[in-house]
Chain A
Amino acid sequence: MYTQSFNVPDTTEPTGAKAPLSLVGVVSPLSEQDAAAQTRFDTKLNADQKIEPQDWMPEAYRKTLVRQISQHAHSEIVGMLPEGNWISRAPSLKRKAILIAKVQDEGGHGLYLYSAAETLGTSRDQMLADLHSGKAKYSSIFNYPTLTWADVGVIGWLVDGAAIMNQIPLCRCSYGPYARAMIRVCKEESFHQRQGYESLLTLMRGTAEQQAMVQDAVNRWWWKCLAMFGPPDSDSPNSVQGMRWGIKRISNDDLRQKFVDATVPQAEVLGVRLPDPDLKWNEARQHYDFGAIDWDEFWATVNGNGPCNKERLATRVKAHQEGQWVREAALAYAHKQAQKNSLKQEAA
């Protein structure tokens, strides 16, 4: 559950949407050897071949991937929190089992992605340290609270729905380990969306109060889901380089449009209203038109001022610190066992 477009500069990098492009512009001249490697790299990309961990790659490509994949991994892990909030209060044993399975999947997705990022030469500890210090970002969508049980359904339907839209093109990403991780993630993601939608269907067949609860959750999440696809194309200079490198395949605005077009009929079947007075079918474009997104709110949340930013990070740090003794004890046990075994072998 997450979306690729959340590839924003981390805190210590130059802020402002235009900074990354200027960085691309000041690449120092390549040595002859590097120039040959660069040509081989470009040839591979042009032929739509994958780049693998041991292949030569430009430093900027490596850095972009480390940032994007680790942000993606962090998002999966932090994304466990808003839903985990409802495990103990799920309305039935069936819904509880489903929710536990889903949250466990998100943890798994985080692991696939951390592993993919590690192939680029960063370490798990380094990535976690960057998350915990607030240096590394994660998807803003998880900085909003899950106020009612209907939020869990809406997250599955809309947040995971938006994530699927984004992640399917990432399965064709030029970096092999990332593409392979995304294939695995996408296989599991469909369950997430369907369980959410089905849970909402159940509520919509219930009392007027339950129906109102679904509508309220949709009202609160709809615009945030549209913002998940990232800034408009006109304001995302990062995207151009991402496209050239084959990391990004479809632009933010195109993905957002695809999501809206796919979701409107689903909302009709469900019987909820999407909270946008400007939302209507455009016969000429053969797409739905929709209203303007509040980007100020999006950036405020990205920059740490969303309703749950502090709480989410504090929960992560606490969980990590409280697990410290377990990690140390497991290592100590492993060392002891290894020593015992080698002593046994010497004796034999």
Chain B
Amino acid sequence: MSQADPKATPPATPLKEWPLWEVFVRSKQGLEHKHCGSLHAADAGQALNMARDVYTRRQEGVSIWVVPSAAISASAPDEKGLFFEPAADKIYRHPTFYEIPDQVGHM
């Protein structure tokens, strides 16, 4: 995901740039939309049109979402441990934690 780096230096010129959008494409009916990149566009309609031209020139998609990059909240990389590690010691959440006699067959 293209997240703006908070420590990044501001652009040399005041922001005249079109805002940044994240693009999600559903590759075929029945599958989820997946993040595939980002682009600059003045508004949502233009972002959709440009996403079509940039990311689906070879029938890579049947549906597109565009989201202003600024609207995405992301988990902090520094708190990765704090945030995700509590799941690490809960191995009883996985089916392989349980031993079932062979004669039961597939379960």
Q: Which residues of A contact B (CB under 8 A)?
A: 52-56, 101, 104-105, 108, 111-112, 115, 118-126, 129, 177, 180-181, 184, 188, 327-328, 330-331, 333-334, 337-338
Q: Residues of A contacting B13 with CB < 8 Å?
A: 125, 129
Partner pick for B37 among A56, A115, A126, A334, CB 8 A cutoff: A115
- Least distance between B59 CB and chain A CB atoms (Å): 13
In the complex, A337→B5 CA distance in Å? Answer: 29
The residue in chain A whose Cβ has the minimal distance to the Cβ of B38 is A115
Tell me whether A126 and B43 are in contact (CB under 8 A): no
Q: Residues of A contacting B7 with CB < 8 Å?
A: 121
The residue in chain B whose Cβ has the minimal distance to the Cβ of A116 is B2
In the complex, A169→B2 CA distance in Å? Answer: 22
Partner pick for B5 among A53, A105, A129, A184, CB 8 A cutoff: A53
Instruction: Give the bracket for the number of chain B residues in contact with chain A.
Output: 20 to 34
Tell me whether B3 and A115 are in contact (CB under 8 A): no
21 CB contacts below 8 A, A to B, read: A52-B77, A53-B1, A53-B3, A54-B74, A108-B57, A112-B54, A115-B37, A119-B2, A123-B17, A124-B40, A125-B16, A125-B17, A126-B11, A129-B12, A129-B13, A177-B2, A184-B37, A327-B18, A327-B42, A334-B42, A334-B43
Partner pick for A119 among B5, B39, B54, B76, CB 8 A cutoff: B5
> What is the interface of chain B mostly: helix, strand, loop, or mixed?
loop
Partner pick for B11 among A52, A108, A123, CB 8 A cutoff: A123
Tell me whether B57 and A104 are in contact (CB under 8 A): yes
Q: Residues of A contacting B8 with CB < 8 Å?
A: 120-122
The residue in chain B whose Cβ has the minimal distance to the Cβ of A191 is B58
B29 interfacial by beta-carbon distance below 8 Å: no
Q: 8 Å CB contacts to A: which residues of B76-97? A: 76-77
- Least distance between B85 CB and chain A CB atoms (Å): 15
Q: Residues of A contacting B38 with CB < 8 Å?
A: 115, 118
Q: Which residues of B contact A (CB under 8 A)?
A: 1-5, 7-9, 11-13, 16-18, 20, 37-40, 42-43, 46, 53-54, 57-58, 74, 76-77
Tell me whether B12 and A331 are in contact (CB under 8 A): no
Tell me whether B46 and A124 are in contact (CB under 8 A): no
Give the 8 A-B CB pairs with smallest separation, nearest first.
A121-B8, A330-B42, A334-B43, A123-B11, A121-B5, A334-B42, A54-B77, A119-B2
In the complex, A184→B46 CA distance in Å? Answer: 22
Known: A53-B3, A55-B77. A333 touches B9 (CB 8 A): no
- Least distance between B50 CB and chain A CB atoms (Å): 9
Tell me whether B77 and A330 are in contact (CB under 8 A): no
Can you add 5 more A-B contacts, CB < 8 Å, to A118-B38, A119-B5, A331-B42? A105-B57, A118-B20, A177-B2, A327-B42, A337-B43
Tell me whether B5 and A126 are in contact (CB under 8 A): no
Tell me whether A53 and B2 are in contact (CB under 8 A): yes
Q: Residues of B contacting A55 with CB < 8 Å?
A: 77
Tell me whether A120 and B12 are in contact (CB under 8 A): no
Q: Residues of A contacting B77 with CB < 8 Å?
A: 52, 54-56
Tell me whether A125 and B2 are in contact (CB under 8 A): no
- Least distance between A175 CB and chain B CB atoms (Å): 12
In the complex, A158→B104 CA distance in Å? Answer: 62
Q: Residues of A contacting B76 with CB < 8 Å?
A: 54
Tell me whether B37 and A119 are in contact (CB under 8 A): no
Tell me whether A54 and B57 are in contact (CB under 8 A): no
In the complex, A161→B43 CA distance in Å? Answer: 38
Partner pick for A126 among B4, B12, B74, CB 8 A cutoff: B12
Q: Residues of A contacting B2 with CB < 8 Å?
A: 53, 115, 118-119, 177
In the complex, A266→B37 CA distance in Å? Answer: 35
Which of B9, B11, B74, B76: most chain A Cβ within 10 A?
B11
Tell me whether B42 and A121 are in contact (CB under 8 A): no
In the complex, A133→B1 CA distance in Å? Answer: 30
In the complex, A180→B16 CA distance in Å? Answer: 28
